[in-house]
Amino acid sequence: MTTPFIGKQEYFGGIGSIPYEGPASDNPLSFKYYDAKKKIGDKTMAEHLRFAVCYWHSFCNAGHDPFGPGTRRYPWDVPATPMARAEARMDAAFEFFTKLGVPYYCFHDIDMAPDDDDIATYERQLKQLVGMAKERQQATGMKLLWGTANLFAHPRYMNGAATNPDFAVVARAAVQVRAALEATVELGGGNYVFWGGREGYASLHNTQMKRELDHFARFLTAARDYGRSIGFKGNFLIEPKPMEPMNHQYDFDSSTVVGFLKQHGLDKDFKLNIEANHATLSGHTFEHDLQVASDHGLLGSIDANRGNAQNGWDTDQFPSDLYDTVGAMLVVLRQGGLEPGGLNFDAKVRRESTDAEDLFIAHIGGMDSFARGLEVAHALLTQSPLEGWRKDRYATFDSGEGLAFAQGKLGLDDLRTYALGHGEPAQRSGKQERYENLLNQYLIRA
């Protein structure tokens, strides 16, 4: 990826490939920490972080909110027909990906191709655009991190897609998943995502929850079987979110999804795609939901963004909080990486950010935040006393009676006998502040 891709027209004129200039530079269009080839441990930053740009926020969303239309005028929205606009959007997207220097992208079927109620037209249009994307991938070396189907925007999905109470809608949703799976395979995607947009309920009064969840499992099983039958070898991913748009969404959080996957025998093929702002919406931290997924061996990929501490909405802001990125990278490094997953910027510039360069600046900030998070997390794990302190905290389970208990060899009588012989346990400080200080120390110095 040396020369940026320029299609029939240049959409981000005046902006070239984004260079690494280091923390001393004040050039907003340069990386301060993300140095793709820099080695952190045994992998480069690019290999650790596996950044992806998303199609939907970056090239489809012009900044509309519930109170008004979009504020950005995209030059790729000018051509007269939907297919011509889709091709122009693709050129703009590949120009942006290559100028920014990310290796991956993600898309929904109807971000890339125009939607159509006529199934044959929808399938033909998507195939045509996928063919064009394949050519551009070959020309640039760009790769697909994951594909997905948008099963929440069309009014037919107002009561859900796979969990819709009407079988006709469930079947119509399958049309899109089938086509999006084929597109993902054709483009060599390493993952296929299910974010359960409207899989949930607005009211329990009209909802048979168990029935809907059983249908959901049947639908995912059929998708898994179809994907495998057409040669998809990657991970299927579920992206938890507790609410919005529905009042309650079935893929509430990591714990809920892990339980659901295990209950339905889907945990061999499915992992989780954890989004920061979804975790915070569910009342957890980003790091918590990552850790839960990772502890089950099911952390597959990450949607990198952040919410707004003042409100509970899914604001999808670009990540900029270094505590969050250090926390996330600690989980990722401890589990040995994310491959074939990656870090997808499911984030949008603010409605008030209307210059073409703002999209670059936002991604640069997100990439730098994670690059810095990676450096600090790596230093904490390899140079600091962090892991030693954590291990020592549990030392009483490393040998003797504690070990025997952990191995399931002691019953309550044995525990009582031990307690009788040892008196009141000595107080052991949790030392939270010592850990917090260590993190800050490494954030500043590493």
Which residues are marked as active site?
A: 108, 111
**Closer residue to ligand XUL in complex, CB, 31/270:** 270
**Closer residue to ligand XUL in complex, CB, 224/278:** 278
Q: Are 227 and 190 in contact (CB under 8 A)?
A: no
Least Å from the CB of residue 275 to Co ion: 4
Give the β-pairing of 39-40 and 43-44.
antiparallel
Task: Determine if 324 is a binding residue for Co ion (CB under 5 A).
Answer: no
Q: Are 280 and 254 in contact (CB under 8 A)?
A: no
Query: Hey, which residues between 121 and 160 contact ligand XUL (CB under 6 A)?
Result: 148
Query: Hey, which residues between 155 and 214 contact ligand XUL (CB under 6 A)?
Result: 193, 195
Phi first, then psi, for residue 18 (nearest 5°) are -80, 120
Least Å from the CB of residue 317 to ligand XUL: 13
Q: Are 195 and 241 in contact (CB under 8 A)?
A: yes
**Closer residue to ligand XUL in complex, CB, 89/372:** 89
Q: Are 183 and 109 in contact (CB under 8 A)?
A: yes
x/- contact string, 4-23, with ligand XUL (CB under 6 A)? --------------------
Using alpha carbons, select from 51, 65, 41, 56 the residue that is nearest to residue 18.
51
**Closer residue to Co ion in complex, CB, 261/304:** 304
Evaluate the omega torsion of the peptide bond into residue 82 and state whether it is cis, within 30 degrees of 0. Answer: no
Residue 131 to residues 78, 126, 135, 186, 444: CA-CA distances in angstroms? 22, 9, 6, 8, 47
**Token pair in block for residue 347:** 């984030």
Stretch that binds Co ion, among 89-97, 201-209, 273-281, 327-335 (CB under 5 A): 273-281
**Token pair in block for residue 51:** 């950044």
Query: Hey, which residues between 307 and 326 contact ligand XUL (CB under 6 A)?
Result: 314
Query: Hey, which residues between 330 and 359 contact Co ion (CB under 5 A)?
Result: 346
Stretch that binds Co ion, among 77-85, 98-106, 295-303, 384-392 (CB under 5 A): 295-303
Pick one of 186, 253, 275, 375: the residue that binds Co ion (CB under 5 A): 275
Q: Which does 148 bind (CB under 5 to 8 A by kind): ligand XUL, Co ion, none?
A: ligand XUL
The DSSP 8-state label assigned to residue 70 in this structure reads -
Minimal CB distance to ligand XUL: which residue?
195
Pick one of 87, 275, 324, 375: the residue that binds ligand XUL (CB under 6 A): 275
Torsion sign, CA atoms 11, 47, 319, 276: positive
Pick one of 172, 215, 241, 348: the residue that binds ligand XUL (CB under 6 A): 241
Residues recorded for the chain? 446
Least Å from the CB of residue 344 to ligand XUL: 7
Residues in contact with ligand XUL, counted by CB under 6 A, come to a total of: 10
User: What is the C-alpha separation between 178 and 202, in angstroms, rounded?
Assistant: 27
3-state class of 248 per DSSP? strand
Q: Which residue has the tokens 């590493």?
A: 446
User: What is the C-alpha separation between 276 and 88, in angstroms, rounded?
Assistant: 31
Interface contacts to ligand XUL, rule CB under 6 A? 108, 148, 193, 195, 239, 241, 275, 303, 314, 346
Binding site for Co ion (CB under 5 A): 275, 303, 346
